[in-house]
Amino acid sequence: MLFLVLLAGGVLWFVLNGMPYINNLRANWEAQRLQAQWEKPYREDTYGGKTPEETYDMFLDALRKGDTTLASKYFVVDEQEKWLKTLDQYSNQNLLVNFVKELENTRKTWVKKDHGDTVDFQYKVLVQKDTTADFEGGKIKVPAGNYTNETEFEQNTYTKVWKISQL
């Protein structure tokens, strides 16, 4: 009888003191698993150069070859799917050659602004007449004038390659 009372007391103590500890361990393990799952695409993302300029050259080379899948991989992970769709549309409409020429021309006038783990290249664009442009599935009016645009790069913190974050 004494044994059963001691056993019941031990089980009660374990439930009151041990279970929160075990639940905390399980919660920490689950958080680490989710963190690793979230980080996986970033840790495996090796597409890009040692410098922003090298990444841009690799991106242009892929476009020149018509490889929109490869070209999209030079963007940050969160933007790759969107850019694959956009580049595929350009390809289907036979616009890649003109797009590459435009990107090559803008690079000639880049002004670099280095912020450490991000780099911006600003360039001027002259729109000679009012026009309408497609932007993220919609049409926007672009009045004639001089504009400053930028191409932005950021460094993948895991693989240290440079990725295009804004084009």
DSSP 37-62: HHHHHHHT---SBSSHHHHHHHHHHH
Low-confidence winner among 48-57, 82-91, 96-105, 133-142 (lowest mean pLDDT): 133-142
> What is the distance between the alpha carbons of residues 109 and 14, in angstroms, rounded to a whole number?
70
* Predicted model pTM: 0.72
Would the pLDDT of 150 be above 70? yes
**pLDDT bucket at 158, cuts 50 / 70 / 90:** very high
Looking at residues 132-153, what average pLDDT do you find? 79
Distance CA 44, CA 75 (A): 14
Cα dihedral across residues 87, 91, 92, 93: positive or negative: positive
pLDDT in tens, 92-107: 989 889 889 988 988 8
- The pLDDT of residue 84: 95
Q: In the predicted model, what is the mean pLDDT of residues 67-84?
A: 95
Which pLDDT score is estimated for 136?
65
- Nearest CA to 154 out of 126, 115, 123 is that of 115
Helix (H) or strand (E) segment spanning residue 9:
helix 2-13
Per-residue pLDDT reduced to its tens digit, 2-27: 777 776 666 666 666 766 766 676 76
